[in-house]
Structure 1
Amino acid sequence: MAELSTPAPVPSAAPSGRTPWHAFIPPWLLCTPAFVLFALLVIVPLVMTLVLTFYRFDPATGPIAAFQLGNYAEVLTDGYYQTIFLRTLWIAALTTLLCMVIGGPEAYILYRMREPWRSVFLLVILAPLLVSVVVRAFGWSMLLGADGLVNKALILFRLGPYKILYTQVAIVIALVHVMLPFMVIPVWTALQKLDPQVENAALSLMASPATTLRRIVLPQVLPGVLSGSLMVFALSASAFAIPGLLGGRRLKVVPTAVYDEFLGSLNWPLGATIALILLAANLLIMLTYQRLLERKYSRAMG
């Protein structure tokens, strides 16, 4: 019998006794390109906007460099701007609530579906994101107009007609249609982490389907609800195209007010002040909501 020969060892490609060059680079330095890009696109414009809020506006010469708080006092004390802020936050909160009520069951149905219906249903949910928001707003303006399909259906059933276009109802309807995927996808993602055996164990212990849904499923999907509601609220509060096209010129929200100050009256300091106050209000509401929901999630999960 021929003796088996041992294969010769393959020489290592890496040089021995040398430290790789990237080992000398500090970890924080590797994040420098991303931080520089973030600073140029986000931090620097925010700082410039913040500085602009302290300027004084002269109708004859435009913004004048001066450190003063008159713009903040005007926005925070004027009833006109207070009404606009309350309307904007109310529309965003109502849109978020409706997306939670509609998107939660949709995500659960999507979780329970099997292929190929799951892919078809997911495509239907994501379809609004494939169309421009301006096109969607024009489509809703035709549907909700005085001669639109909605009013014709109301007249057919002797329930109308009603003035829907250029009202808060029209804005909320269109925003829910646009923002619904941002609620369904996070909740569906959270449901993917749910162990089906836990739900089956609860049912085998004589728990009703409603109790299983309330005690087993809902506490575990709260992170998805939190993520989706934060995104929907932030995007709804800062939406411009839909309120501008479906709300008209009289029904103003904060983004349309900022647009009018910047490009209408050319009062850039006041427009920057309104934008920064909206950003601060959004952050305050979202952080408070996140803290409350996280506490509820911690209590539910023990």
Structure 2
Amino acid sequence: MSGTSRAPWLLSAPAFVLFACLLLVPLALTAVLSFQMFDHATGVKNSFTLAHYAAVLTDDYYHAIFWRTLWISALTTLICVLVGAPEAYVLSRMRSPWRSILLLVVLAPLLVSVVVRAFGWSMLLGPEGLVNQVVRAVGLPPMRILYTEAAVVIALVHVMLPFMVIPVWTSLQKLDPGVEDAALSLRASHFTTVRRVIFPQVLPGVLSGSLIVFGLSASAFAIPGLLGGRRLKMVATVVYDEYLHELNWPLGAAIALTLLLANLALMLSYNRVLERSYKKAMG
């Protein structure tokens, strides 16, 4: 191999080593741990077993938790697309200084800790929170929102919305305004222009944002833990319980890796479907 052909490998070697140390090595160790036996009296044993994966794949308890995690993540992603894409479009059409102000408003949730935001939502959605105070003021009975799936979805949308707005806004920045003006000059309606001209070109941004939002929502821990309570389990909270309460590290590792594989399968399938739609729309 010549010096010229080795140069890209040498330049990328530090990043690859860092990537391997921070991601690949921990994943490999977690995978090895998930196949080890566990005894409540003696702890982790250096013996091979598939019992943990069998429990995750056959127990209805884990089926319900995985289903709840995936559908809450999917609903959060859908709401972020429906809210974030139009918000990004409005943001791209604004002029200074309003664009900077709205961009700061969009990014503001990222400046505050997730735990602080979760506690803030718990105060808003609690039995004596602002939401129920407004409900009582209009003469309606108070609602039970805290420690429900609705509370988790509301807080996740608030946290994840910037991860949808920014990729879509970036895609819109690459869009030539003359294309939209040409469509309007040919008497296309605004809805048709958005559907036939703008949306196909920002679809990569929607795809990127959807994958980020879904992945982060499925692995979220602080919000489900604080707003879902002890009864409303999601995968991340179950992994936490297995590691720190039950001390069953192999089972916790098996649950975490199962979630990772399920996320990868769903995200790759979603990516393929949207890429086909994008090629069809652009072709």
TM range (shorter): over 0.9
Question: Which of 152, 159, 166 is residue 171 of structure 1 equivalent to?
Answer: 152
Question: Which of 116, 123, 137 is residue 135 of structure 1 equivalent to?
Answer: 116
The residue aligned with 1:78 is 59
The residue aligned with 1:8 is none
Q: Following the alignment from structure 1 to structure 2, what is the Cα–Cα distance between the partners of residues 205 and 76? A: 56
Residue 296 (str. 1) matches residue 268 (str. 2): no
What is the DSSP-based 3-state SS (H/G/I as helix, E as strand, rest coil) of the residue aligned with 1:299? helix
Structure having the higher Rg = 1
Residue identity matched to 1:203: L
Residue 227 (str. 1) matches residue 236 (str. 2): no
The one-character-per-residue Cα deviations of 1:94-126 (angstroms, maximum 9, x if unpaired) are 000000011011001101100000000000000
Q: Following the alignment from structure 1 to structure 2, what is the Cα–Cα distance between the partners of residues 29 and 153? A: 62
Q: Following the alignment from structure 2 to structure 1, what is the Cα–Cα distance between the partners of residues 177 and 140? A: 45
Residue 274 (str. 1) matches residue 255 (str. 2): yes
Question: Which of 244, 265, 269 is residue 263 of structure 1 equivalent to?
Answer: 244
Residue 241 (str. 1) matches residue 222 (str. 2): yes
1:65, distance to aligned residue in structure 2 (A): 1.2
Residue 69 (str. 1) matches residue 50 (str. 2): yes
The residue aligned with 1:207 is 188
- The RMSD of aligned alpha carbons is 1.1
Alignment of 1:1-302 (within 5 A): 26-302=7-283
What is the DSSP-based 3-state SS (H/G/I as helix, E as strand, rest coil) of the residue aligned with 1:66? strand
Structure 1 spans left out of the alignment, 5+ residues: 1-21
Q: Following the alignment from structure 1 to structure 2, what is the Cα–Cα distance between the partners of residues 196 and 30? A: 39
Q: Following the alignment from structure 1 to structure 2, what is the Cα–Cα distance between the partners of residues 23 and 190? A: 35
What is the DSSP-based 3-state SS (H/G/I as helix, E as strand, rest coil) of the residue aligned with 1:270? helix
1:27, distance to aligned residue in structure 2 (A): 2.9
What is the DSSP-based 3-state SS (H/G/I as helix, E as strand, rest coil) of the residue aligned with 2:268? helix
The one-character-per-residue Cα deviations of 1:54-98 (angstroms, maximum 9, x if unpaired) are 101001110101111111001110010110000000110000000
196-205 or 26-35: which moved more? 26-35
Q: Following the alignment from structure 1 to structure 2, what is the Cα–Cα distance between the partners of residues 60 and 201? A: 74
Structure 2 spans left out of the alignment, 5+ residues: none
1:30, distance to aligned residue in structure 2 (A): 2.4
Q: Following the alignment from structure 2 to structure 1, what is the Cα–Cα distance between the partners of residues 12 and 184? A: 49
What is the DSSP-based 3-state SS (H/G/I as helix, E as strand, rest coil) of the residue aligned with 1:115? coil
Q: Following the alignment from structure 1 to structure 2, what is the Cα–Cα distance between the partners of residues 50 and 214? A: 45
Q: Following the alignment from structure 1 to structure 2, what is the Cα–Cα distance between the partners of residues 50 and 144? A: 39
* TM-score where L is the length of structure 2: 0.97
What is the DSSP-based 3-state SS (H/G/I as helix, E as strand, rest coil) of the residue aligned with 2:150? helix
Change in CA separation of 1:24 and 1:156 when aligned onto 2, cut-off 3 Å: closer
1:160, distance to aligned residue in structure 2 (A): 3.1
Residue identity matched to 1:71: H
Identity score, percent: 70
Q: Following the alignment from structure 2 to structure 1, what is the Cα–Cα distance between the partners of residues 109 and 11? A: 38
What is the DSSP-based 3-state SS (H/G/I as helix, E as strand, rest coil) of the residue aligned with 2:48? coil
What is the DSSP-based 3-state SS (H/G/I as helix, E as strand, rest coil) of the residue aligned with 1:245? helix
